[in-house]
């Protein structure tokens, strides 16, 4: 349970949890209103495999060639059985069983998996493969998972995945610890119609352009930015990262000394001016998900800083089809401006002690590439794990953003790094957006008071 609640607890798993459920969302709603959709999707998955190869893209069936008739794989899934992801996974597993003779036992554990799995890994329970956030796997479970480097090379995995995500895993774990199943990307998500109506023809690339755009929106009767308490760390983190960079934020979060950093003060001053100018939506920062819902409900709120799952969240919550677009957080004049974006993933890993690592790996590749991956992306409205596939329309631009990212940023860009101070820091950030500080110095002082 921890992780589906605490799970949401900021940081990267938050994203993953949220993302997971988002996509779920799409699916469950679909299942509720039109159960045919998901069933079709799942059916398509098995079609793809039984009908054999579809010559165009890299085909999933490449990976279902072995004879695994004596093999039993125990698969612990972070999805629920009634979610679209869960349905697709079940259908693909069935197809894999038919092709290879293997037996796959899936246990749908839900988001709590991340909490349970630690104990089970320590006790060497019978698990061959499991899902979690890639950060969790690479950092916390790295001692318990299989080094996939050789098998991945043999399968030419690099050509079917996002280099930045893989590199991040290797940086954390020291080896390729997991295979991407559900990538995510962050940035500024906006309503294209409002930009058009306000005469904004190009998405802003610098903070000055961003402020100009906001002013245009206000002039045309729109409210520029939605902000909910749950995403405060990401919102301010995105800005501060452009000014001083993620490593500097991590350092400050760990050791304090915020007041001594001119970048922190100027970043906070910029946010204070931003708030004073009235660029936040009415009521923001609000209690999640009130503020972001206004994008759909009122049609007057234009943007939100979040990860890609926010688009289906808002659409589902409010029963509207917002004309979504995405741009990278603008650069800030005088800052270090890495221009990286937040990215993350839910991934699949194989246990170190699994007796059937190759079979498990083949199944993972079967699931996360080619037609099966496309089915997953379409059914669950998520970014495909295989860049050769195409993204759902409301997430247009996300594959390109992911491929352009060299070093993904972590959730909150380091704001949440210090577990002891994290709640305090976020609290001070909330006050910043509530307009409680007269100057950046006051804000930095309030942060230092926590140490």
363-422: which residues touch another protein (CB under 8 A)? 411-412, 416-422
User: Minimum distance between the CB of residue 80 and another protein, rounded to whole angstroms?
Assistant: 6
Tokens of 45: 């998955």
Check residue 25 for interaction with another protein (CB under 8 A): yes
Rank residues 64 and 185 by Cβ distance to another protein and give the closer one: 185
Cβ atoms of 153 and 288 closer than 8 Å = no
Rank residues 61 and 182 by Cβ distance to another protein and give the closer one: 182
- Exposed / middle / buried, residue 122 (Cβ in 10 Å: 0-12, 13-18, 19+): exposed
Q: How far is CA 360 from the centre of its chain?
A: 24
Binding segment for another protein (CB under 8 A), chosen from 1-9, 158-166, 195-203, 240-248, is 1-9
| Spatial separation of the C-alpha atoms in residues 97 and 93, rounded to whole Å | 6
Binding segment for another protein (CB under 8 A), chosen from 3-11, 157-165, 328-336, 395-403, is 3-11
For another protein, the binding residue among 57, 220, 317, 337 (CB under 8 A) is 317
User: Minimum distance between the CB of residue 33 and another protein, rounded to whole angstroms?
Assistant: 9
User: Minimum distance between the CB of residue 378 and another protein, rounded to whole angstroms?
Assistant: 18
Site for another protein in 318-357 (CB under 8 A): 318-319
| Spatial separation of the C-alpha atoms in residues 208 and 135, rounded to whole Å | 34
User: Minimum distance between the CB of residue 282 and another protein, rounded to whole angstroms?
Assistant: 8
Question: Phi/psi at 301 (nearest 5 deg)?
Answer: -100, 135
User: Minimum distance between the CB of residue 4 and another protein, rounded to whole angstroms?
Assistant: 6
User: Minimum distance between the CB of residue 140 and another protein, rounded to whole angstroms?
Assistant: 5
Site for another protein in 262-301 (CB under 8 A): 283, 285-290, 293, 297
Cβ atoms of 328 and 114 closer than 8 Å = no
Query: Residue 106's beta-bridge partner residues?
Result: 75
| Spatial separation of the C-alpha atoms in residues 27 and 14, rounded to whole Å | 20
Check residue 182 for interaction with another protein (CB under 8 A): no
User: Minimum distance between the CB of residue 391 and another protein, rounded to whole angstroms?
Assistant: 19
Binding segment for another protein (CB under 8 A), chosen from 90-98, 199-207, 355-363, 430-438, is 430-438
Q: Which position has the token pair 């010559």?
A: 55
User: Minimum distance between the CB of residue 229 and another protein, rounded to whole angstroms?
Assistant: 7
User: Minimum distance between the CB of residue 232 and another protein, rounded to whole angstroms?
Assistant: 10
Kind of pairing between the strands at 72-77 and 129-133: parallel
Rank residues 184 and 369 by Cβ distance to another protein and give the closer one: 184
Site for another protein in 208-247 (CB under 8 A): 229-230
Check residue 4 for interaction with another protein (CB under 8 A): yes
Cβ atoms of 207 and 333 closer than 8 Å = yes
* Residue among 342, 164, 168, 329 at smallest CA distance from 242: 329
Question: 404: Cβ–Cβ under 8 A, 6 or more apart, which residues?
Answer: none
DSSP category for residue 220: T
For another protein, the binding residue among 431, 441, 445, 448 (CB under 8 A) is 431
* Residue among 194, 433, 434 at smallest CA distance from 298: 194
Number of residues in the chain: 451
Tokens of 157: 């995995």
Site for another protein in 72-101 (CB under 8 A): 80-82
Question: Phi/psi at 264 (nearest 5 deg)?
Answer: -60, -45
Site for another protein in 116-155 (CB under 8 A): 116, 118-119, 122-123, 125, 133, 136, 139-140
């Amino acid at each position: 349970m921890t992780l589906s609640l605490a799970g949401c607890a900021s940081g990267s798993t938050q994203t993953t949890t949220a993302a997971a459920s988002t996509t779920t969302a799409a699916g469950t709603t679909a299942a509720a209103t039109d159960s045919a959709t998901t069933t079709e999707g799942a059916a398509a998955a098995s079609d793809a495999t039984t009908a054999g190869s579809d010559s165009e893209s890299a085909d999933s069936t490449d990976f279902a060639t072995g004879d695994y008739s004596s093999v039993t794989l125990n698969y612990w899934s972070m999805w629920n059985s009634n979610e679209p992801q869960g349905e697709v996974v079940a259908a693909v597993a069935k197809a894999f069983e038919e092709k290879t003779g293997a037996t796959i036992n899936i246990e749908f554990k839900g988001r709590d998996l991340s909490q349970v799995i630690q104990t089970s890994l320590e006790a060497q329970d019978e698990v061959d493969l499991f899902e979690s956030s890639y950060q969790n796997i690479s950092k916390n479970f790295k001692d318990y998972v299989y080094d996939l480097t050789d098998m991945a090379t043999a399968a030419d995995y690099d050509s079917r995945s996002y280099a930045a995500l893989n590199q991040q895993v290797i940086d954390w774990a020291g080896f390729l610890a997991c295979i991407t199943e559900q990538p995510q990307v962050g940035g500024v998500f906006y309503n294209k119609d409002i930009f058009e109506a306000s005469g904004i023809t190009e998405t802003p690339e610098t903070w000055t352009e961003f402020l100009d755009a906001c002013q245009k929106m206000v002039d045309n009767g729109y409210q520029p930015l939605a902000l909910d308490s749950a995403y405060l760390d990401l919102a301010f983190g995105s800005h501060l990262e452009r000014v001083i960079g993620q490593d500097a934020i991590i350092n400050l979060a760990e050791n304090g000394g915020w007041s001594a950093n001119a970048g922190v003060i100027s970043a906070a001053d910029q946010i204070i001016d931003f708030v004073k100018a009235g660029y936040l939506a009415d009521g923001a920062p609000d209690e999640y998900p009130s503020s972001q819902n206004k994008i759909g409900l009122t049609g007057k709120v234009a943007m939100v800083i979040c990860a890609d799952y926010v688009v289906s969240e808002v659409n589902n919550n409010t029963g509207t089809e917002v004309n979504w677009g995405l741009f990278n957080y603008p650069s800030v004049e005088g800052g270090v401006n890495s221009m990286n974006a937040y990215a993350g993933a839910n991934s699949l890993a194989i246990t170190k002690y699994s007796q059937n690592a190759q079979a498990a790996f083949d199944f993972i590749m079967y699931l996360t590439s080619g037609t099966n991956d496309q089915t997953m992306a379409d059914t669950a409205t998520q970014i495909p794990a295989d860049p050769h596939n195409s993204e759902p329309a409301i997430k247009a631009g996300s594959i390109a953003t992911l491929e352009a990212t060299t070093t993904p940023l972590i959730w909150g860009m380091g704001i949440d790094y210090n577990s002891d101070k994290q709640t305090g820091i976020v609290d001070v950030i909330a006050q910043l957006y509530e307009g409680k500080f007269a100057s950046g110095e006051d804000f930095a002082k309030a942060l230092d008071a926590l140490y």
